[in-house]
Structure 1
Amino acid sequence: MKTTNKLHPGEKFGLLAFKRYGGDTFTFGEPGQWQALFVFRGQHCPICRSYLKEIEEHFSDLRELGISVAVVSADSEEQTRITAEAIESSFPLLYGMDEPTMQALGLYISEPRSSAETDHRFPEPGLFIVNPEGVLHLVDIANAPFIRPDIKRLVGGLKFIFKNDYPIRGTVA
């Protein structure tokens, strides 16, 4: 039986550095503010492009809550350029996630179905929300492109967390 490592809510997240499309290195996980890192499969995935557009639609809601948003894939810079042109995002597009990082995050990893799909293994969707203490507050990991949190519901849930000082859930190992 295969196993995966999963990050657990309530644990320190640590720092991750990624290449930022159109910029320098982007570091995720630094304490000081709420942060959301959305992992997507890559430019080959039409469902991902649609989901990134949904994130864009709610980007201002997330910013109003004080949440820094970034998205990351294992794509190359050229593949990320294609995504950037397709979605015109306000949030950073990060690229080049390697397999050790995918594994450390507990993401499911898929092989391309053919060379026409993409030229590398890629992560299935994930979402990591880190609180200002640098602790993983919310996590969602999926093994298929059509299993993702509803962004509108996520924004509502985050508002509830902030208003009610709602604790980190799912901490029993």
Structure 2
Amino acid sequence: MPRTPLPGQTAPDLHLPLIIGSKWTLAEQSPGAFTMIVVYRGLHCPMCEKYLKQIRAMYDEFLAKGVEVLHVSMDGKDRATKAHEDWALDPIPMAYGLTEDQAADWGLYLSKSMKEAEPDVFAEPGLFLVRGTGELYLVDISNSPFSRPDLTVLLDKLDFIIEKDYPARGTKAA
């Protein structure tokens, strides 16, 4: 069962392999403003392809605002590499091998395969902003491929968030 982390708290620990052969660790990131972790369903998902391509088209703008981006799924290295190459996502770092436990720590929903092209189990979409201090700032998770944050709005509002030091919202547990 997902354990949705609370904004304003320290983000869950995250260590992942990258398709280039190195390791990525959240605690070692030092973004100007935020690290944006984008969880996608996997190579099988055409909605993910469209969304990640949109992020790629906006990547330089995110970087200019101090936002480092990471894409990750539960796919293995071969499928993640294929998605990265076929969808032309370079130079955005691509991680792979997100585990079910890691997905649960981040509050992600998991789905079982409905067709042959899908992995047996995969995480549904999520987008997270984490400050360089490790504070979880924004949590946006979905249980289906059809609902994701509007990247244009997010990019536009980053200036306000950064300039006004706008605090994380939703910090009180229900």
Q: TM-score, normalised by structure 2?
A: 0.92
Alignment check: 8 A CA contact 2:70 2:94 kept: yes
Partner of 1:159: 159
Identity %: 36
Return the alpha-carbon distance in structure 1 between the equivalents of residues 119 and 171 of structure 2.
37
The answer to whether the aligner puts 1:98 opposite 2:94 as a matched pair is: no
Structure 2: gaps spanning 5 or more residues: none
1:43-62 equivalences in 2 (<5 Å): 43-62=43-62
The answer to whether the aligner puts 1:133 opposite 2:133 as a matched pair is: yes
Return the alpha-carbon distance in structure 1 between the equivalents of residues 29 and 81 of structure 2.
29
> Residue deviations 1:12-43, cap 9 Å, x none?
11431111012311112446432010000000
Partner of 1:82: 82
Return the alpha-carbon distance in structure 1 between the equivalents of residues 127 and 25 of structure 2.
16
> Residue deviations 1:98-157, cap 9 Å, x none?
10111111100000102x122330000001111121100111010011100011111112
Give the secondary structure class of the aligned counterpart of 2:162. helix
Q: TM-score, normalised by structure 1?
A: 0.93
Residue of structure 1 aligned with 2:7, choices 6, 9, 27: 9
Q: Which amino acid in the other structure matches residue 120 of structure 1?
A: D
> Residue deviations 1:66-124, cap 9 Å, x none?
1110010000111112201222212111101110111111100000102x122330000
Residue of structure 2 aligned with 1:27, choices 16, 25, 28: 25
Alignment check: 8 A CA contact 1:38 1:71 kept: yes
Give the aligned CA root-mean-square deviation in angstroms: 1.3
Structure 1: gaps spanning 5 or more residues: none
